[in-house]
Chain A
Amino acid sequence: MSEWWDYGLADFLLFSPRVYYRLFETMNSVWWIAVLAAFVAGLVAAGLAMRHGHRGNRVILVLLSLIWGWAGYGFLWQYYQPINWAVAYILPGFVIEAVLLAVFAARPLPLRFGWRGDLTSCVGAGLLVVAFVIYPFVGLIEGRDLIQAELFGSAADPTALGTLGFVLMARGTWRWLLLPVPLIWCVFASATLWVMDQQVAYVMFVAVWLTIFSGWLDLKNGVTTRRLTEAERATPASLSD
């Protein structure tokens, strides 16, 4: 098997940045209604997640589940896979993530989203801002057209970034199960962008580390493992961890 050890990361750069960014242009032009709808759905979910309440939690998860399903089919399957065969190996991850989000939405005790003012919340909110506002429009600085914008909800990179943000803004047991797929995607995307010489690779890379660090802090403080008490479920304001 030594033949496979010869390969470097650059050997797997199969396409040029021009072809890559045209994927978004084509998708945004052909599927603009779905792209816009997914983006708006994401915004609604983000709005709900920032509220410190216990209503809308299931809605957020359902919307995210639909978004992952759409990003998997709309972008990965239709556009990205034809130019990058490695995507075929990650595509099932998108299905798993969509199913997991649906399961989390359906289970009796759903996740609770909300701003808590701690480091994890700050990182989560920061990632949401990056995913919704900054990431789609970095291309403009680099001279790409607006039509090539990578929007949360359809393009995989901001969708994965934003999902990390959502999970960090959430509270509830087993929520870390929602992290591996977006984390793996961010690592994959970061490597791809890096070999394409795209500075935005660092954003994905930093997001991965911040998420892992915040998750580790939560784990250390027992936030991950403790179930919400009845009182906490009844009174969102009493959430203290």
Chain B
Amino acid sequence: MSEIDRRNFIKGAGALGLAGMSASIGQTVPRLARAASSATVPDVIRKTVASTGEKIPAVGLGSWITFNVGNDMVLRDQCASVVSAFFNAGGRMIDSSPMYGSAQEVIGYCLDKLGAHDRVFSTDKVWTSGDGAGQIAETAERWHTRNFDLLQVHNLVGINENLPLLFRMKDEGRLRYVGITTSHGRRTDDMIALMKNERLDFVQVTYNPVDRKVEEYLLPLAYDRGIAVIVNRPFRGGSLTQQLEGEPLPEFAADLKAESWAQLILKYLIAHPSVTCPIPATTNPAHAAENMRAATGVLPDDKMREQIAAVIGVLV
């Protein structure tokens, strides 16, 4: 993997703010190199992880609640269908946490079943004020993997111990990227301080057309500092898509080739220059594919993004 020239990246990315967006901000590449095993994987928009220059598909997959199905084999197989649909539609990043019950184990099951350990961009977290290293080892066991692409300090829990631990793992070559997460707009000040002072590769925050606070300071800062941004709760845990269900799409959705509210929301997110990858969770393979299709075709420009937020703001 090539090392990034961070300064060039930032210069090249141009002025910050909501400068006109189009499909060009995310690059459509011919085919996912890592997913070469599937001949049917479509082209998707990919975003750059500034700290390395690596490009990853602009939509990922969350696992909170949806993948916590315990030992229920019927539901485990349904999860495997979701992961399969996700990969086949061009997805790579799957996010989980030790907080999510059996989700990590279920992801391990799905990857085994699909023989897809080499297709995933594995993203997990450390969530303890105690033995972080022990928890990470357990997490790896559950995923049936040895090393992760990205580990994040979940909700900044045990940050003083866990962040140095992750940096150490990265320095030793046992981890590719280090990140931190929050959600629901919590602990934003702490997160900002860490973004300013630590050499983070990723941050994960809540962002959607209704929860836009991060647009004010955090997203511009991430851009300036070359920190990739993962977006959690893109559909507000599903309440957004539920509230919008049955509402007709605005006319301009057709210009973006958005077939659903879910896609419109994801396009809104992906189009932000700071956003690397929203990670919607789903139990439905069709939704997984639909969400990935949001990372194809045209993205809204600044004006259209505002329109999307305005329309959704009125409806919910």
Contacts and interface: CB of A to CB of B under 8 A. Distances in A.
Which of B101, B129, B187, B283 has the most C-beta atoms of chain A within 10 angstroms of its own C-beta?
A: B101
A89 interface: no
Give the interface SS of chain A, mostly helix, strand, loop or mixed. Answer: loop
Interface stretch (B39-47, B153-161, B223-231, B290-298): B153-161
A235 interface: no
Interface residues of B, number: 23
Q: What size tier do the contact residues of chain A reach?
A: 10 to 19
Given A22-B75, A82-B102, A84-B101, A1 B68 contact: no
Contacts of A6: 155, 186-187
Interface string A24-65: 001000000000000000000000000000000000000000
B68 A4 contact: no
Contact of B70 (A1, A3, A4, A19): A19
A15 B159 contact: no
Contacts of A19: 68-70, 72, 75
Given A3-B187, A6-B187, A19-B75, A83 B157 contact: no
30 contacts: A1-B129, A3-B129, A3-B155, A3-B156, A3-B157, A3-B187, A4-B157, A6-B186, A7-B155, A14-B65, A14-B99, A15-B69, A15-B70, A16-B66, A16-B283, A19-B70, A19-B72, A22-B72, A22-B74, A23-B70, A23-B72, A79-B70, A82-B70, A82-B71, A82-B102, A82-B105, A83-B68, A83-B69, A84-B101, A85-B101
A15 B158 contact: no
Contacts of A16: 65-66, 283
A1 B66 CA distance: 29
Contacts of B283: 16
Contacts of A122: none
B233 to A, nearest CB: 12
B101 A82 contact: yes
A1 to B, nearest CB: 7
A110 to B, nearest CB: 39
Nearest to A15: B68
B252 interface: no
Interface string B185-200: 0110000000000000
Nearest to B74: A22
A100 interface: no
Interface in A212-235: none
Contact of A13 (B65, B157, B186): B65
